[in-house]
Amino acid sequence: MHWQLAAYVHVSTVYTCVVICREHDKDPEQFFSAVYKLEEEGLDFRISVIGEGYTVVPDIFEEARHRLANHVVNWGYQPSKEDYYRVLMSADVAVSTAKHEFFGVAMLEAIHCGCYPLAPNRVVYPEILPKEYLYNTPNQLFKELKKFCRRPHLVRNNQKCSKINLEKFSWDTLKKSYEELLS
Protein backbone atom coordinates (compact mmCIF):
# COMPACT_ATOMS: atom_id res chain seq x y z
CA MET A 1 0.00 0.00 0.00
CA HIS A 2 1.12 3.58 -0.49
CA TRP A 3 0.26 7.18 0.10
CA GLN A 4 -0.22 9.56 -2.77
CA LEU A 5 1.29 12.90 -1.89
CA ALA A 6 1.17 16.25 -3.48
CA ALA A 7 3.17 18.70 -1.42
CA TYR A 8 3.22 22.36 -2.20
CA VAL A 9 5.43 24.95 -0.60
CA HIS A 10 4.26 28.51 -0.04
CA VAL A 11 7.46 30.45 0.68
CA SER A 12 7.59 33.89 2.27
CA THR A 13 4.99 35.31 0.05
CA VAL A 14 5.58 32.17 -1.96
CA TYR A 15 3.40 29.21 -1.27
CA THR A 16 5.29 26.17 -2.41
CA CYS A 17 3.25 23.23 -3.37
CA VAL A 18 5.36 20.13 -3.74
CA VAL A 19 4.00 17.28 -5.74
CA ILE A 20 5.39 13.94 -4.70
CA CYS A 21 3.86 10.62 -3.83
CA ARG A 22 3.73 9.20 -0.36
CA GLU A 23 5.77 6.23 -1.40
CA HIS A 24 9.43 5.49 -0.80
CA ASP A 25 10.20 5.56 -4.54
CA LYS A 26 9.06 9.21 -4.61
CA ASP A 27 11.81 10.05 -2.09
CA PRO A 28 9.88 12.10 0.47
CA GLU A 29 13.02 12.17 2.66
CA GLN A 30 14.78 14.32 0.06
CA PHE A 31 11.88 16.72 -0.13
CA PHE A 32 11.45 17.10 3.61
CA SER A 33 15.21 17.43 4.09
CA ALA A 34 15.17 20.48 1.80
CA VAL A 35 12.15 21.95 3.59
CA TYR A 36 13.74 21.35 7.01
CA LYS A 37 16.76 23.35 5.84
CA LEU A 38 14.46 26.21 4.83
CA GLU A 39 13.00 26.14 8.31
CA GLU A 40 16.44 25.97 9.97
CA GLU A 41 17.49 29.06 8.01
CA GLY A 42 14.45 30.91 9.31
CA LEU A 43 12.85 31.36 5.89
CA ASP A 44 9.15 32.07 5.71
CA PHE A 45 7.16 29.52 3.72
CA ARG A 46 3.92 27.59 3.73
CA ILE A 47 3.48 24.01 2.62
CA SER A 48 0.66 21.77 1.53
CA VAL A 49 1.17 18.03 1.54
CA ILE A 50 -1.89 16.53 -0.03
CA GLY A 51 -3.01 13.25 -1.50
CA GLU A 52 -4.67 9.99 -0.74
CA GLY A 53 -3.43 7.89 2.16
CA TYR A 54 -3.26 4.13 2.25
CA THR A 55 -2.24 1.59 4.85
CA VAL A 56 1.54 1.98 4.92
CA VAL A 57 2.89 5.52 5.11
CA PRO A 58 6.60 6.26 5.45
CA ASP A 59 7.38 7.56 8.97
CA ILE A 60 8.81 10.78 7.54
CA PHE A 61 5.26 12.07 6.88
CA GLU A 62 4.17 12.03 10.50
CA GLU A 63 7.49 13.48 11.60
CA ALA A 64 7.23 16.26 9.01
CA ARG A 65 3.61 17.02 9.86
CA HIS A 66 4.59 17.73 13.46
CA ARG A 67 7.91 19.43 12.76
CA LEU A 68 6.44 21.70 10.09
CA ALA A 69 3.07 22.30 11.79
CA ASN A 70 3.55 26.09 11.79
CA HIS A 71 4.07 26.04 8.03
CA VAL A 72 1.28 23.65 7.00
CA VAL A 73 -1.64 25.04 5.00
CA ASN A 74 -3.13 21.72 3.86
CA TRP A 75 -2.29 18.13 4.78
CA GLY A 76 -3.70 14.85 3.52
CA TYR A 77 -6.50 13.84 1.25
CA GLN A 78 -8.62 16.57 -0.30
CA PRO A 79 -12.32 15.64 -0.38
CA SER A 80 -12.84 16.59 -4.03
CA LYS A 81 -10.94 17.21 -7.24
CA GLU A 82 -12.04 20.84 -6.98
CA ASP A 83 -10.42 21.12 -3.53
CA TYR A 84 -7.26 19.50 -4.89
CA TYR A 85 -7.14 22.00 -7.77
CA ARG A 86 -7.85 24.89 -5.40
CA VAL A 87 -4.73 23.94 -3.41
CA LEU A 88 -2.71 23.76 -6.62
CA MET A 89 -4.01 27.12 -7.82
CA SER A 90 -3.05 28.77 -4.53
CA ALA A 91 0.49 27.40 -4.64
CA ASP A 92 3.54 28.90 -6.31
CA VAL A 93 5.92 25.96 -6.65
CA ALA A 94 5.35 22.27 -7.26
CA VAL A 95 8.21 19.92 -6.42
CA SER A 96 8.86 16.33 -7.36
CA THR A 97 11.61 14.22 -5.84
CA ALA A 98 10.53 11.02 -7.62
CA LYS A 99 13.02 8.23 -8.21
CA HIS A 100 10.40 6.44 -10.29
CA GLU A 101 7.73 8.11 -12.43
CA PHE A 102 5.82 6.90 -15.46
CA PHE A 103 4.35 10.16 -16.71
CA GLY A 104 4.27 12.92 -14.09
CA VAL A 105 0.53 13.64 -14.18
CA ALA A 106 0.48 15.39 -10.80
CA MET A 107 3.25 17.75 -11.91
CA LEU A 108 1.45 18.49 -15.17
CA GLU A 109 -1.73 19.25 -13.23
CA ALA A 110 0.23 21.58 -10.94
CA ILE A 111 1.78 23.37 -13.93
CA HIS A 112 -1.65 23.71 -15.53
CA CYS A 113 -2.85 25.32 -12.26
CA GLY A 114 0.00 27.85 -12.37
CA CYS A 115 2.71 26.26 -10.24
CA TYR A 116 6.36 26.65 -11.09
CA PRO A 117 7.74 23.09 -11.36
CA LEU A 118 10.94 21.82 -9.77
CA ALA A 119 11.65 18.24 -10.77
CA PRO A 120 14.64 15.90 -10.76
CA ASN A 121 16.69 15.65 -13.92
CA ARG A 122 15.75 11.98 -14.26
CA VAL A 123 12.86 9.64 -15.02
CA VAL A 124 10.21 11.25 -17.25
CA TYR A 125 10.91 14.88 -16.38
CA PRO A 126 13.67 15.69 -18.92
CA GLU A 127 11.20 14.62 -21.62
CA ILE A 128 8.44 16.99 -20.52
CA LEU A 129 10.20 19.95 -18.86
CA PRO A 130 12.83 22.42 -20.10
CA LYS A 131 16.17 22.27 -18.27
CA GLU A 132 15.58 25.37 -16.13
CA TYR A 133 12.90 23.46 -14.19
CA LEU A 134 15.16 20.49 -13.42
CA TYR A 135 17.62 19.98 -10.58
CA ASN A 136 20.43 17.42 -10.35
CA THR A 137 21.16 17.18 -6.63
CA PRO A 138 19.28 17.57 -3.34
CA ASN A 139 21.39 20.67 -2.67
CA GLN A 140 20.27 22.23 -5.96
CA LEU A 141 16.64 21.62 -4.95
CA PHE A 142 17.27 23.33 -1.61
CA LYS A 143 19.03 26.28 -3.27
CA GLU A 144 16.14 26.78 -5.70
CA LEU A 145 13.55 26.70 -2.92
CA LYS A 146 15.68 29.06 -0.83
CA LYS A 147 15.96 31.46 -3.79
CA PHE A 148 12.19 31.43 -4.22
CA CYS A 149 11.64 32.05 -0.49
CA ARG A 150 13.82 35.13 -0.74
CA ARG A 151 12.60 36.26 -4.16
CA PRO A 152 9.02 35.00 -4.60
CA HIS A 153 8.43 37.25 -7.60
CA LEU A 154 10.62 34.83 -9.59
CA VAL A 155 7.85 32.22 -9.50
CA ARG A 156 4.91 34.59 -9.51
CA ASN A 157 5.58 36.09 -12.92
CA ASN A 158 2.62 35.33 -15.19
CA GLN A 159 5.03 34.12 -17.85
CA LYS A 160 6.87 31.80 -15.44
CA CYS A 161 6.01 28.58 -17.24
CA SER A 162 5.57 29.89 -20.78
CA LYS A 163 8.24 27.50 -22.08
CA ILE A 164 6.24 24.46 -20.99
CA ASN A 165 3.87 23.25 -23.69
CA LEU A 166 1.02 21.38 -22.01
CA GLU A 167 -1.06 21.47 -25.18
CA LYS A 168 0.83 18.47 -26.55
CA PHE A 169 -0.75 16.37 -23.76
CA SER A 170 -4.32 17.57 -24.37
CA TRP A 171 -7.05 15.34 -25.73
CA ASP A 172 -7.57 17.74 -28.64
CA THR A 173 -3.96 17.15 -29.68
CA LEU A 174 -3.82 13.40 -28.98
CA LYS A 175 -7.29 12.34 -30.13
CA LYS A 176 -6.44 11.86 -33.81
CA SER A 177 -3.32 9.81 -33.01
CA TYR A 178 -5.35 7.52 -30.73
CA GLU A 179 -8.10 7.15 -33.30
CA GLU A 180 -5.55 6.16 -35.97
CA LEU A 181 -3.80 3.79 -33.60
CA LEU A 182 -7.00 2.06 -32.51
CA SER A 183 -8.70 1.84 -35.91
How far apart CA 97 and CA 120 sit, in angstroms, is 6
29 has pLDDT over 80 = yes
The CA distance from 38 to 146, in Å, is 6
State the alpha helices, DSSP H only, in 2-132: 28-40, 60-67, 81-90, 105-112, 125-128
Tell me the mean pLDDT in the region 138-159: 87
Cα distances (angstroms) measured from residue 146 to each of 57, 65, 100 = 27, 20, 25
Split at pLDDT 50, 70, 90, the class of 14 is low
pLDDT at residue 125 is higher than 90: yes
47-61, 87-101, 146-160 — most confident range: 87-101
State the pLDDT at residue 42. 93
Q: How confident is the model at residue 50 (pLDDT cuts 50, 70, 90)?
A: confident
Give the pLDDT confidence of 161-174 residue by residue, as tens digits: 777 888 888 889 88
Confidence (pLDDT) at 159: 60
Pairwise CA distance, residues 28 & 119, whole Å = 13
Residue 42, by phi and psi: left (phi above 0), alpha (psi -120 to 50) or beta? Answer: left
pLDDT of residue 83: 92
> Measured between alpha carbons, how far is 153 from 14 in angstroms, rounded to an integer?
8
Q: How far apart are CA 6 and CA 123, in angstroms?
A: 18
Q: pLDDT tens digits for 72-91? A: 998 888 899 999 999 998 88
pLDDT at 8: 56
